[in-house]
Amino acid sequence: MRDSETFTANAVRCREEADAATLDNVRDRCLRAEAAWAAMASRSRRSERARDERVAAVA
């Protein structure tokens, strides 16, 4: 499993926790965590794509 997949799964989990939260502060915390995980997944996908291109260029 690539890091981006792990980060995306964590973002989904945080969204589910936010949807289930009954307290506003908990919901807000989960939504902030979701945004952070989604940003990390995006950066990780970009890095993975660049790495794959470098490997393909060498092969």
**pLDDT tens digits, one per residue of 28-58:** 999 999 999 999 999 999 999 999 999 999 9
Region 7-31 average pLDDT: 99
What pLDDT, on a 0 to 100 scale, did the predictor assign at position 57? Answer: 95
What pLDDT, on a 0 to 100 scale, did the predictor assign at position 3? Answer: 97
φ/ψ region of 35 (left if φ > 0, alpha if ψ in -120 to 50, else beta) reads: alpha
Does residue 1 surpass a pLDDT of 90?
Answer: no
Region 13-18 average pLDDT: 99
| Domain parsing of the chain, residue ranges | 3-58
Q: Which amino acid is at 51?
A: R
What confidence tier does 59 reach under pLDDT thresholds 50, 70, 90? confident
Q: Taking the CA atoms of the chain, what radius of gyration do you get in angstroms? A: 15
φ/ψ region of 31 (left if φ > 0, alpha if ψ in -120 to 50, else beta) reads: alpha
Q: DSSP per residue over 30-41, as a string?
A: HHHHHHHHHHHH
Taking the model in full, what pTM does it have?
Answer: 0.89
